Amino acid sequence: MTHSTDAELLQAAKDLLGQHIVMPGFRARIVETEAYGPADPGCHAYRGVTPRTQVMFDKPGLAYTYFTYGNHWMFCVTCLKPGTAGAILIRAAVPIEGHEEMRKRRPKAKKDQDLLNGPGKLCAALQINQSHYALDLTQSNGTLWLETGERPRKIRTGTRIGLAQGKGDLLPWRFWSAEDEPHVSRPLTNP
Partner DNA sequence: AGTGTGATTATCT
Partner DNA sequence: GATAATCACACTT
Among 3, 104, 108, 153, binds DNA (CB under 7 A): 108
Q: Which amino acid is at 26?
A: F
Q: Which of 17, 15, 42 is nearest to 162 (CA)?
A: 42
How far is 85 from 168, CA to CA, in rounded Å?
Answer: 21
- 149 touches DNA (CB under 7 A): no
Among 87, 102, 144, 171, binds DNA (CB under 7 A): 87
Among 9, 13, 26, 44, binds DNA (CB under 7 A): 44
Q: How far is CA 186 from the centre of its chain?
A: 15
Segment interacting with DNA, rule: CB under 7 A, options 11-19, 63-71, 149-157, 176-184: 63-71
Number of residues that bind DNA (CB under 7 A): 40
Among 25, 131, 151, 162, binds DNA (CB under 7 A): 162
For 105-154, give the DSSP string.
Answer: H-TT--SGGGSSSSHHHHHHHHT--GGGTT-BTTS--SSSEEE--PPPS-
* Chain residues in the site for DNA (CB under 7 A): 34, 36, 42-45, 47, 50-53, 56, 64, 66-72, 74, 76, 87, 89, 106, 108-109, 118-122, 160-165, 185, 187
